[in-house]
Structure 1
Amino acid sequence: MTTDSSASSLIIGGAASSPRAPLPTLPPLALYIHIPWCVRKCPYCDFNSHTASPVLPEQEYVDALLADLDQDLHAVYGRELTSIFFGGGTPSLFSAEALGRLLKGVEQRIPFAADIEITLEANPGTFEQEKFVAYRKLGINRLSIGIQSFQQEKLEALGRIHNGDEAVRAAGMARQAGFDNFNLDLMHGLPDQSLDDALSDLRQAIALKPTHISWYQLTLEPNTVFWNQPPVLPEDDTLWDIQEAGQALLAEHGYAQYEVSAYAQAGRPARHNLNYWSFGDFIGIGAGAHGKLSHPDGRIVRTWKTRLPKDYLNPAKSFQAGEKSLSNDEMPFEFLMNALRLTAGVESRLYPERTGLSLETLAEGRREAEQSGLLQVEPSRLAATERGQLFLNDLLQQFLN
């Protein structure tokens, strides 16, 4: 385990950096809660998800989540939560009673901001109207519904358990249950997908009037069925045509792109994810959850929890699997790999505020990235150019040692 929290000066990209300073203010604090079970594991999914048994251990898992949170409280005393995100897996497999007990337990331990955003991931086919109404009454005020496609052959290729009609009904149910803020997850670049197929999916999603659309390309990830048995995906030219036409269609209907794969109506970006991308803090509880916490003395610590549900629920095993204090030379890449995903980037002042390091620690990499046309020449902001957004990995390489 690396625990280098030294504040001594060092060389980054050939330029001497200033010592890391105590943080003037701590960033906003969020909570991520991982529910690791799904009805069925999708062949493209590399998340920490596991096929659910007929009876989920809801009570035991909620008990474990709260005990896990108790062990992190010392690092966040006196702060409040600005957002909570239930991710998975499929959190909507849990009953409203279980989630209600969990939320009550969280609020007893950490105060909620008056305008807290609480998001729950849900899949069509895993809920009923009554369940959505009950979730809303708990204070959950945002849904993220995993649609992926409305076309039956594409859904079957992706191993999804719902059909297109269920996806359409899910959006209607969400609105009827009182959710005026919800996201639809949609994928493109699917097996044998044409430009017309992709735009048809997007048009259907737009017609349902979500406040937010996450629209991202299918990628083949290691340790998935698709990695070992790859499907036939569209050619690069088709993928490029889909990307360009889709972005134009979303913009035409008032969905502004604010991150690589995130599009939102005015004033409706995902606040929880914005906190990630602007190097905010978050506690991670649940099997395999990750966290990142800043300390007033300048230390920034990443944590990760025990991955397998059976181990996470085993009282003889620790919830926390590991932690790592970020060293000064890791900070530029850690900060920018998040911030540069945002199409508008972030204000330059955020870097010293969130890392305790001087902007000089970015100077050499910044010059090289600007000269290569990947980073905007704008002293008050750190933002990728349009070309930099297309070649984000190349841009980030400028800030690696």
Structure 2
Amino acid sequence: MKRLILATVAAGMVAPVAAEPFVFSGVVGAGAGYVTNPFLRIGEDGGSPSLNVSLAPVLTRTTPRGVTTVRGIYSREEYLRDYGHSDNALAGLSHQQQLNERLTVNGGVTYNTTTNPLIGSNFDPGISDPLTIGRRSRRLSGDAGFSWQPTATDTWTGGVNASRNTFSRNTLDGLVQDYNLYGANLAYTRSLDERTQIGLRVNGQYVDSEAFPDTQSLQPAVTLHRQISAIWTFDGNIGLIIQKMEGRSASTTVGFGGSLCGQYPRTEICFTADRQSSASGIGGLRRDLSLTTTVTHSLTERSRLRGYGSYRKSDGQSFQTISDVEAIQARLDYDYDVTQRLTVGVGGRYQRRDLKGQGSADSVAGMVNLSMKIGR
């Protein structure tokens, strides 16, 4: 028995378990379809058959106290007549580190360039401003933040961020201009019970525009998180939007935000609504009203429907010939898992942008897609 134990220990010392700190996963896709007015040009009503490819790799490293993630997105939609192509590319690095039981820090850097965030099977609506869809935009951004929990019921979070945003020239008749954005935020949250949290937060932004007057905003708000039931969760805030443009007096209005999300056994659904201050190449800081709905419904173990819809109305003090801008985006997809890795699907999208005083434009597309999971 002693010999058996010694042999086992020796074998463990000679052949230790191989560590695997990095995990690779991702999705590749391809498809074909038809699209009208892909660049949302005013007065354009032509269309073209299209081909698309996409790639979304993710590399993750996890330690007992930290997570590092490297991710990328590339999508390209090639038009067989007249329009050339649309594409998206994103590369991002982020890290989260727990310094001790109470303090966690995080940071990241991201670069993306895009003309239309809804192309490809692995689309990401968040990588582009919907008001400038169809125009080449580039963004280099970085952020750093912390989360500190001094007691079991109190949490402080905060952070800073900055980005450089540039656009192709000769777009939107020169109304789109490059800008730098700088921001900071601080929030306090207190847990009243296992289902309810209340708090205070303040966000600040400064936009340094190359053509429009520089603008700044301050947004103080009260916050509420409530687990309404085992299915539904509500997050909300209400406060003020205080904006100041160079050469003009400050303006104050009500700002709010809220999300209501439900998770059923076969359906996940989320509604969001907010009125906030945000930056754009059109006019610097704007006041935006935004409504968004996302739905995923599993029809069977292998098939599902995915829906996304958003509406945004924007106004800004420095608009010249444009008083308001409205943007609508919608996409619906049906997916069927042929195997655990291979998926086929069909989908469609609708996009509209209305530049008050300039005109409006619509785009409709339908596509058939094939995607495959790679890595783990």
Same fold (TM over 0.5): no
RCO comparison, higher one (Cα < 8 Å, 6+): 1
TM-score w.r.t. the length of structure 1 is 0.31
Q: Which has the higher strand share?
A: 2
TM-score w.r.t. the length of structure 2 is 0.33
Rg comparison, structure with higher value? 2
Q: Which has the higher helix share?
A: 1
